[in-house]
A and B are shown apart, each in its own frame.
Chain A
C-alpha cells in the first residue's frame, strides 16, 4: 500500500518534469492543420518532419546551433582553464586574503545578469565587439569563474599534499607539478565543471539577445526567441516546437550521461556558498 503511493507520487513527479518537453515533441510532429484543430489531439495523426525542415531551410537554424556550440565550448575551455589555476592557488599556496576573495566571488556569482547588462553592452559596443562571438565568450567565461573556482578548490583540497612533496623531492618545478601531476589527477573534477559551465553558457539569454542582433550571429536561445511568423500576430508554433526539441537535445544527452557529476558539481558549488 505504502509502496504503491510512493510509485504513484514518483510517476507524477516524472511526468510533471518531462511533460512540457514531451508535449513539444508531439507538437513538433503535427501538421499545421492539426496544431490548430479542436479538440486537441494527443497523438499526431500524420506525424512528419516538415517543421524540422522549415527550421533548417527557412531559418539559419543550423547556424544558431553552431554559434551556440562554438561560443559555449570556447567559454568552457577558457573558464575551466583559468579557474583551475586560481583554484589551485587558493587551495594550496596559502594566498593572503583567499577567504575574503572567495566570499566576494560567491556573492558576485549570485547577481542577476541584468545588473551587468548596460555597462557590458556599452563596453562591447565601444570595443566594436557587438555581433562578435567574443561579446558573449568574455562574459560567459567571467560569470562562470566563481562557481568553477569554488568547485575546483574543493577538489584540490582533497588531493594529498604528500603527492606534491614527493614530486618536489624528485626535482619537479612548481609549474611541472601543476601541469603533470595535479591537473591529470583533477581530470574528473575538471570534466564536472566543464559540463556545468557548458550548460550555463548554452542556456544564457539576456546577453545573447542583445549583443548578437545579426541573424547569422545569433545563438540558439536568442534565435528561437525571435522566431516569428509570416504575420506579426501569427506565432509559428510548429517550427518553434521543433526548435525547442533540437536545441534542448544536446542538454538532455548531457544530463542522461552525466547526471551524477552534475549533481556532485552543483552540490560542491552550492555547499561552499
Chain B
C-alpha cells in the first residue's frame, strides 16, 4: 500500500512539467477567450476592457458577415473532407498492394502531408495564376479552355482552388489512417470470400468497407476539425477574397483581432465557432465510439 501512494506522487511529479505547460499555454487561453468575450475591448474603449455582458453575442447574432463566413467554412469543410477521404482511400488501396517501388510511392504520397501548408500555398497560387499559370496552359493545350480563367479572381473558382490545394495537402493524412485500417483486416476473410465466389467489388463492399468503418470515421473526425480551422491556405492564396468569397471563420477572427483590434468581439467569434465545431465533432464522434464499441 505504501509503494502505491509513493508511486502516485512520483507519477504526479513526472507529469507536472507537461501539465504546467498545458495548463498555462493551452487551457488558460481558452478560459481567457471566454472571459474577454464578455467585454468591450477595442479602439472605441482605447483597448481598455469594459464589461458589457452578452452584447458581443447579440451583435454576433445580427452579423450577416459572420454567418457568411460560417457558411463558407462549413461548405469548404464538407466538400474538402469528402474528397480527401475518397482520394485517401484510393491512395491507401494502391499502397496496400504488393509491387516494386512501393516505398518510393509511399514516400511520394507522404510528401504533401510533410510540407508546410503556408509555403506550398504559394506553389498553388502559381499553378492557378491567371496569366502564366500552368493549369490554364494545360487546360488550353487539352482544348478544354479557349481563354484563360482568373481562378483566384472569382469567388466560386477561388474557393474551388483552395479546396483543391487542401485536398492535395491532406489526402495523405487520410491515406495513413486508412492504410493502417486496411492492414488490420485479416487476409483469411478475403480468401474465404474468394472461395465462396465473391468478386473483388463484392469483397470491397462487404468486407473492406464495413471493417474500415472505424478508421474512416476517425479520419473524418480529425480532418473535419482541422479543416474547420483552415487559415494558412486562405491567408496566402486569397487573403479571404475576392470580395470575401473565401473568407473562413479563422480569417474573420484573425482580421477582427489584428486589423480592427476588436478583441472582445473577436473573442466572441472564437467562442461561437468553437461551439459549432464541438457540436459537429460530437456528431461525428458519437457514431465512431459506437462503431469502436461494436468492433471490440
Contact = CB atoms under 8 A, between A and B. Distances in A.
Partners in one complex: yes
Interface string A201-241: 01101100110000000001110110000000001010011
Interface stretch (A53-61, A106-114, A158-166, A185-193): A106-114
Given A95-B15, A255-B111, A23 B134 contact: yes
B291 interface: no
Given A23-B123, A93-B8, A82 B18 contact: yes
Given A10-B99, A36-B131, A205-B232, A88 B110 contact: no
Contact of A6 (B94, B118, B219, B236): B94
Interface string B247-284: 00110011001100001001100100010010001000
A193 to B, nearest CB: 13
Contacts of B29: 115-116, 118-120, 123
Interface in B7-64: 7-8, 10-12, 14-15, 17-19, 21-22, 24-30, 32-33, 36
A131 interface: no
A108 B21 CA distance: 13
Contacts of B22: 105, 108, 142, 145-146
Given A6-B99, A203-B116, A39 B228 contact: no
Contacts of B18: 82-83, 85-86, 145, 149
A18 interface: yes
Interface in A219-273: 220-222, 224-225, 235, 237, 240-241, 243-244, 247-248, 251-252, 254-256, 259, 262-263, 266-267, 270-271, 273
Interface stretch (B78-86, B153-161, B171-179, B185-193): B171-179
B11 A20 contact: no
Is chain A's interface secondary structure helix, strand, loop, or mixed overall?
helix
Nearest to A40: B137
A118 to B, nearest CB: 5
13 contacts: A10-B105, A85-B17, A86-B15, A89-B11, A95-B8, A95-B11, A96-B8, A142-B22, A205-B117, A248-B116, A256-B107, A266-B173, A270-B176
Given A112-B226, A244-B123, A266-B177, 18 more contacts: A23-B123, A86-B14, A86-B19, A89-B10, A92-B11, A111-B225, A111-B274, A112-B225, A114-B231, A114-B270, A115-B33, A116-B25, A145-B18, A174-B10, A205-B116, A224-B122, A248-B120, A263-B176
Interface residues of B, number: 90
A117 B258 CA distance: 10
Interface residues of A, number: 91
A146 B19 CA distance: 10
Contacts of A113: 229, 231
Contacts of A243: 119, 122
B115 A262 contact: no
Given A266-B176, A267-B176, A270-B177, A39 B25 contact: no
B75 interface: no
Given A6-B99, A267-B176, A20 B119 contact: no
A115 B131 CA distance: 37
Contacts of B235: 205, 209, 225
A138 B32 CA distance: 18
Nearest to A254: B114
Contacts of B176: 263, 266-267, 270
A143 interface: yes
Interface in A133-186: 138-139, 141-143, 145-146, 149, 174
A52 interface: no
